[in-house]
Structure 1
């Protein structure tokens, strides 16, 4: 390459002119230990295409944001698994009583997050540590708030989850460079990872949200010394199934509104009950429908948009 050509390339990059320059084609595959071999690096290094400097800048920004989204979704997956799927009611009570329960819960969240980041765990170890520390700090603050404030359970739950999600978003924004979407050790696309997170959210987070709304509106049958605790019973299992079905139908059906049909059995059953029990069932159905709609919108956006 001549000196004049090199000078034109440098000027084009620095001043964002439209002079075509030679750049490497962005590698969009999942990085693994095998792909870091010399032969793979050589194969990727010869993928060249002609792009203008403005296209280079736009592509770099897009890929950086997509990497941040990939890390955020992986961290969110670990959070959903540790904070909902693998947090039984007894552990909720234990963490509200002292540090042992809180540390055990945080350890489970860290373990689930480590599994979610398994594909690149060595490089993402700082993100894992930060996520664990942030989770522990937020748990401490919200549990103290529960003891000291007279806020209702719904407000504390929403505050707790908002703080967790914001903390994960900050970590992803700071440390997401070069991250590719993966489901544990398996490379996937962003849409698949978003779908898994969405399904867990509507099924498990949705059950807690429906419970807190019901307690706020209708009261709790057994408040207990640490606040009402949601038990894993047949009614909760039904909620898992109907919200999960509504979410999947909404994503796979050409008419997303058909997801409403998943709540038809509960609504029909509610009509046969007394007023208070009917209100309880209809409240759960309404909250389930709302959270399915909101999460559906977020997943569709994450799956179809190039950020």
Structure 2
């Protein structure tokens, strides 16, 4: 894939992000949610995305036909997707992610049409099915729920001995997943020093709470859980690096 082709794809994505988050006033969002199909903001917003798409395609040196077709395709699809979202709970993360995924699929379809080839999809599929990509996917999958369950089982003998009131439900498990995700990424990037900074930052954040609690068992429990989580992730990351699959 050449640089101009990739630049066009990134330009289309940037145009979408600008239209959805930079140039869309909050009153447009409220208007769409309240009036749905009758909201003028729905159509202004769709036209804005169409114009931004036309700008990117023009800068990419596209012909008039593809510019007009791309503009209409993005504008109409964006209006339909946003209209569908107005009938869903806008406060749910799942619907926000689905909305953005649909928009990005539209952009991908437009880009492939502009490119006149499905070769990038074949190349992506070929890379996804390589041993290296599958190993990386497996490693990141392991540091989420599977490792969280394993650590919880390993810590069970001491979990009944500690009492940590005032914490968010399931927050510890989610923090642990994010922590392991970051540690694995840093290990794969050979940035082991940054892992130390991550542990230091977490220790600083937890130090005040643990000191105020005056609960030695809780302190030991948190320390043991953190070390177990980080050690397991470090070992997994180093194992993946040692495999060095092509």
TM range (shorter): 0.3 to 0.5
Q: Which has the higher helix share?
A: 2
- TM-score using structure 1 length: 0.35
- TM-score using structure 2 length: 0.42
